[in-house]
Amino acid sequence: MGPENLGRDVPTTDTDLMPKALITGITGQDGSYLAEFLLGRGYDVVGMLRRSSTVNFERIDHIQDEITLAQGDLLDGASMIQVLRDHEPDEVYNLAAQSFVQTSFGQAVLTGETTGLGVTRLLDAIRMVKPDIRFYQASSSEMFGKVNQVPQDEDTPFHPRSPYGVAKVYGHWITVNYRESYDMHASSGILFNHESPRRGLEFVTRKITDGAARIKLGLADELRLGNLDAQRDWGFAGDYVKAMWQMVQQDEPGDFVICMGETHSVREFCKLAFGMLDLDWEQYVTVDPQFYRPAEVDLLIGDRSKAEKVLGWTPETSFEELVRMMVEADVKRLQS
Ligand code: NAP
Ligand code: G4F
């Protein structure tokens, strides 16, 4: 399928013919954007979520009436078999994970169970219930870790630097292995950092835009960060979920790097975000060693040539537009 053709034909009128997608991690940043995207293409969307003592639907509040929610947990294979039996999806997007790198150092086993082995549990459930399901695995540029090549592409060797990165390498290779062993339509999207106003507050971009907005509004007077020299290839999550779907529509499954192809330091991000609010970041940002990691990923920058050629995917939102969108959303949220 060439770049001009964005996907299989998706019927939008007859509900019986609507393709059905199951999204794990529906309550997360990407889950919410992907659900919106698939609804817009006429999909019947089922979101898998784990049991929690309080409802955390902030990101999916606005689409709750349009999706079906099903309880399941990556730690519990039987729960996923049940979800697949109950809903019989055509496509499964595995976005669920313990996704915060810093936490993975303190909870390495949990991260391995969820972010790594959870992928096998889900693939086995698919194999047992409906092996013709098309599967997407949310792999990560964190797998490149101590980078071996600049920029990184699908052939760059992995050298993960955190339990999270190690677990994602496992998830990636088990996806490749099930594709090769059982002829499953299983694709792995190696996505570089992608952000949005819905990004968790613990990730550095959102921590900065929220912090800058608080300082601007007089709600805080400093922001404590870790390594300001780390460089990331940051894009907009809303653009990246389209690439996930495009991978699943290909005749042949595969692995694809999705990125902007440019890198910026945490320091640059601070300068830009604070500058948008007419603040001098150096007056407010303090370096706090508690936010340093035992091992760091110093530099990430991707090469998306394959995705451009095969999927026809390119990002639509620039780095500056992304930062502005996040800063403005945080100011608005804190003012209301
Ligand atoms: P996120 O906001 O942290 O969302 C993670 C989701 O996983 C949440 O819905 C969470 O549910 C769910 N989850 C966690 N443990 C689970 C379990 N045991 N069973 C079922 N669900 C569980 O992450 P994101 O930024 O949307 O990222 C989506 C995926 O892409 C993740 O796999 C992440 O590792 C990967 N990724 C992200 C980026 C990025 O820059 N954002 C880049 C590359 C890859 P709760 O709401 O209940 O916690
Ligand atoms: O925003 P971060 O926590 O994201 P990180 O570690 O790059 O991971 C994110 O992107 C991955 C893709 O490469 C995903 F797979 C993963 O799930 C997640 O979405 O940290 C970015 C950089 C790091 O180098 C960190 O050391 O920012 C540096 N940093 C500096 N001060 C900080 C802070 N990070 C956080 N979270 N908090 C700080 O105060």
pLDDT per residue of the chain (336 residues) written in tens, 0 to 9: 333 333 444 444 455 679 999 999 999 999 999 999 999 999 999 999 999 999 999 999 999 999 999 999 999 999 999 999 999 999 999 999 999 999 999 999 999 999 999 999 999 999 999 999 999 999 999 999 999 999 999 999 999 999 999 999 999 999 999 999 999 999 999 999 999 999 999 999 999 999 999 999 999 999 999 999 999 999 999 999 999 999 999 999 999 999 999 999 999 999 999 999 999 999 999 999 999 999 999 999 999 999 999 999 999 999 999 999 999 999 999 999
Annotation marks residue 140 as catalytic: yes
191: closest CA among 258, 124, 106, 112? 258
Nearest CA to ligand 2 atom 28: 227
**CA 7 from centre of chain:** 21
What domain count does the chain have?
A: 1
Q: What single letter denotes the amino acid at residue 198? A: R
Mutate to test the pocket of ligand 1, among 49, 61, 95 (most ligand atoms within 8 A of CB): 95
Confidence at residue 17, expressed as pLDDT on a 0 to 100 scale:
77
Distance, CA of 26 to CA of 49 (rounded, Å): 6
Ligand nearest to the CA of 300: 2
204 touches ligand 2 (CB under 6 Å): yes
| Kind plus residue range of the DSSP H or E element containing 106 | helix 101-106
Residue 228 resides in a domain: no
Q: How far is the CA of 227 from the centre of ligand 2 (A)?
A: 10
Backbone CA torsion sign across 139, 74, 7, 133: positive
Nearest CA to ligand 2 atom 31: 226
Catalytic residue (one of 79, 99, 140, 187):
140
Distance, CA of 6 to CA of 198 (rounded, Å): 26
Q: How far is the CA of 299 from the centre of ligand 2 (A)?
A: 11
230 touches ligand 2 (CB under 6 Å): yes
Annotation marks residue 164 as catalytic: yes
25 touches ligand 1 (CB under 6 Å): yes
Confidence at residue 14, expressed as pLDDT on a 0 to 100 scale:
54
Determine phi and psi for 110, rounding to 5 degrees.
-60, -45
Confidence at residue 59, expressed as pLDDT on a 0 to 100 scale:
98
Domain span at residue 77?
A: 20-197+234-261+301-316
The number of C-alpha atoms within 13 Å of 279 and in the hemisphere containing its C-beta is: 23
Q: How far is the CA of 203 from the centre of ligand 2 (A)?
A: 6
Ligand nearest to the CA of 98: 1
Distance, CA of 63 to CA of 46 (rounded, Å): 12
Residue 63 resides in a domain: yes
Residue 48 resides in a domain: yes
Distance, CA of 137 to CA of 97 (rounded, Å): 11
Question: Which pTM was predicted?
Answer: 0.96
253 touches ligand 1 (CB under 6 Å): no
Distance, CA of 299 to CA of 144 (rounded, Å): 10
Pairing of strands 185-191, 264-265: unpaired
Give yes or no for a contact between 51 and 118, defined as CB atoms under 8 angstroms apart: no
Residues near 284 by beta carbon (within 8 Å), at least 6 away in sequence: 211, 212, 215, 221, 222, 223, 274
Determine phi and psi for 201, rounding to 5 degrees.
-65, -15
DSSP string, 265-305: EHHHHHHHHHHTTT--GGGTEEE-GGG--SS---B--B--H
133: closest CA among 73, 185, 70? 185
For 70, 92, 182, 231, the CA distances from 88, given in Å and listed in that order, are 12, 10, 19, 41
50 touches ligand 1 (CB under 6 Å): yes
CATH code where residue 191 lies: 3.40.50.720
